[in-house]
Chains A and B, each alone.
Chain A
Amino acid sequence: MAGPGGDMQWCFSQVKGAIDDDVAEADIISTVEFNHTGELLATGDKGGRVVIFQQEIENKNHPQFRSEYNVYSTFQSHEPEFDYLKSLEIEEKINKIRWLPQKNAAQFLLSTNDKTIKLWKISERDKRPEGYNLKEEDGRYKDPNTITSLRVPVLIPMDLMVEASPRRVFANAHTYHINSISVNSDNETYLSADDLRINLWHLEITDRSFNIVDIKPANMEELTEVITAAEFHPHQCNTFVYSSSKGTIRLCDMRVSALCDKHSKLFEEPEDPSNRSFFSEIISSISDVKFSHNGRYMMTRDYLSMKIWDLNMENRPVETYQVHEYLRSKLCSLYENDCIFDKFECCWNGNDSVVMTGSYNNFFRIFDRGHRRDVTLEASRENSKPMQVLKPRKVCAGGKRKKDEISVDSLDFNKKILHTAWHPQDNIITVATTNNLYIFQDKVN
């Protein structure tokens, strides 16, 4: 990829998480999200925990080192629950985290598992009051008869404490499993989507939501597709999109009607009949949809490719990027080992010129849209020396394997990068392997 001054190179910055090969299921990272400034980086895991990292103040003495991310706050967002009516366990796994734009000193984020969304307030406390009139320092109430004077408590400095407190719980609105949440640009509402329905919430109101999309057929035997992802437009508060398991994307305008079952636009690319197989439906299912920051485009990820769509053109994407086309001949094996059901996410860089997504063998792919170049990189402990430049990787699809290439059959399908995120303003990227979070930055010349 070329940036100003030549090809961009990526350097290792940090890795978070245990080194052990024996991974506890609860530690598997399930979502990653930068906040709007990029100062905070939140991860959710299968154990229902949220870990927030904060970027430290920039080291001016060493400008080639961007600031590191250190743990800022850790809290248990969701616990396992049991639905007694349906005799079903509700997993505590965090499916998505979305930050709210910052309005005051505190930070707010939404986190969701399969059924319940929670609004968390993350605030700092670096002072504590001392000198109460009615209480001792240890909290015990004084005997009123001993109080002879009045004094005003004073605030004294203390060690920084970061508190996470649940401010709202949005529950009991989804029959099916929640796959997406998206905060509206009006900063007052957000949507949550499950397999068949999308609900609109007000951030202040927890006891009701509006159903804006319902694709559940009257007869479930007629079900042909489900909702796989949904997102609000970054600027138009009336517009949102949702993707389906059939590979279509519907753009809806909430001004048209209260129930947005009828789409305003339908984005769909005809299937190439030469690629038809038993698994065509599975690989065409869209796993993620993301608007570009400028709101002109959206990107979708299906099993083998990423597509960029111009919102003004519905019949085909403007750009298609093959992520790992060499897997097309392996779909049967990938079906047997369940990998074909993996849901990869995708992300834009800050100025929408570059996109990124994950793959197998802890590879991730970066596509430079402007220069039509792409690179495959690997997140590995072996390449984790500080500021070590990542070497591009190449997969040999067939024929004679070159020296530094890896053959398709040698790929480790247990090592997958499903979740990636790009700093909103800087060339800092983060990718989640099974239980580790890797942070890379571009090499500052």
Chain B
Amino acid sequence: MEVNAEARRILAVSISKLYASRSQRGGLRLHRSLLLSLVMRSESDSDEEGCDNEITEDKENLSPARQSRKRRGKASVAPDFLPIKRARLESGEDRYAAPLSSCRAGESLAALSLNRVIPAF
């Protein structure tokens, strides 16, 4: 649990760094963006493993109706670098921000950011 909380915190830091680097003089740095995306990916993976562990732990306590909820395995996670349709952030994208209580929040934010990092170059 603590690892997941830490991973989510670092993920949030990573995303803020990525957004901040857009306004840097000289433009986005490919090397830095790549390293940020690698950190976010490893945090995402760690967070997902944590979520999976949580779900596994809680599975026995779930009601039958809830147990049938489909779990997103790694194979079905959106690819790290999806083609982007928009080059820049636009208003309304904060609709992707999910409640902090959900462990999927970091995943969504990370997927959003990873999608935009490298193809932007």
Which residues from chain A sit less than 8 Å from chain B, CB to CB?
86, 88-91, 93, 114, 176-177, 179, 195-196, 220-226, 228, 245, 278-282, 285, 332, 335-336, 338, 341
Which residues from chain B sit less than 8 Å from chain A, CB to CB?
6-7, 10, 13, 17, 25-27, 29-32, 34-35, 38-39, 42-43, 46, 79-83, 118-119, 121
**Which residues does chain B contribute within 8 Å of A226, judged by CB atoms?**
30-31, 34
CB atoms of B81 and A282 under 8 A apart:
no
**Which residues does chain A contribute within 8 Å of B31, judged by CB atoms?**
177, 179, 195, 226, 228, 245, 285
CB atoms of B83 and A91 under 8 A apart:
no
Q: Is the interface of A mostly helix, strand, loop or mixed?
A: loop
CB atoms of B26 and A91 under 8 A apart:
yes
Q: Which of A176, A221, A282, A336 contacts B79 (CB 8 A)?
A: A221
CB atoms of B80 and A281 under 8 A apart:
no
Closest approach, in angstroms, between the C-beta of A177 and any C-beta of chain B?
6
Closest approach, in angstroms, between the C-beta of A444 and any C-beta of chain B?
42
CB atoms of A89 and B43 under 8 A apart:
no
Closest to A283 in B: B35
Name 5 interchain pairs, CB-CB below 8 A, sorted by A: A245-B35, A281-B39, A282-B38, A282-B39, A335-B10
CB atoms of A176 and B30 under 8 A apart:
yes
Q: How far is the CA of A341 from the CA of B119 in the complex (A)?
A: 21
CB atoms of A341 and B118 under 8 A apart:
no
Closest to A282 in B: B35
CB atoms of B121 and A220 under 8 A apart:
yes
Closest approach, in angstroms, between the C-beta of B28 and any C-beta of chain A?
9
CB atoms of B118 and A90 under 8 A apart:
no
Q: How far is the CA of A338 from the CA of B80 in the complex (A)?
A: 23
Q: Beyond A220-B118, A221-B83, is A177–B30 a contact (Cβ under 8 Å)?
A: yes
Q: Which of B27, B42, B43 contacts A86 (CB 8 A)?
A: B27
- 10 closest A-B pairs by beta carbon, nearest first, are A221-B81, A88-B27, A91-B26, A195-B30, A281-B38, A226-B31, A282-B35, A223-B118, A220-B118, A278-B42
Closest approach, in angstroms, between the C-beta of A206 and any C-beta of chain B?
23
CB atoms of B34 and A245 under 8 A apart:
yes
Q: Beyond A282-B38, A332-B10, A335-B10, is A221–B118 a contact (Cβ under 8 Å)?
A: yes
Q: How far is the CA of A222 from the CA of B35 in the complex (A)?
A: 14
